[in-house]
Amino acid sequence: MEKLIATKPIYYKGKNYVPGEEIPESDAEMVEAWKRAGSVKELPGLENASLKAILKETVERFEEEQAEAAAEKPAEESVKETMKKGKRKNDI
């Protein structure tokens, strides 16, 4: 039996699913939307060892994406912090 695994954070029916977590496949329309968006990965029934390796890889890839996104934001965040303190960019 195939499993649907989150590759990105998903909020569905009042629950947060994190990358690597199995998602219910009861809503075919949502499953199709998640697949089109690249938010899930469909895995065939695998032994636990290989499933754990795939899940670990998925979580690591997600964490790398988050780190890259965070690295791009510091300049933007520092400007916001400066603005909160009442200084202008030219006053720095």
> Is a pLDDT exceeding 80 seen at residue 88?
no
pTM, entire model: 0.51
Comparing 79 with 42, which gets the higher pLDDT? 42
Q: What confidence tens digit (pLDDT) does each residue in 2-29 have?
A: 788 999 999 999 999 999 899 998 999 9
Question: What is the β-pairing status of strands 10-12 and 15-17?
Answer: antiparallel
Residue 39: which pLDDT band, with cuts at 50, 70 and 90? very high
Looking at residue 89, its pLDDT comes to 52
Longest dimension (CA), the chain: 62
Side chain identity at 61, as an amino acid letter? R
Closest CA to 4 of 74, 56, 27: 27
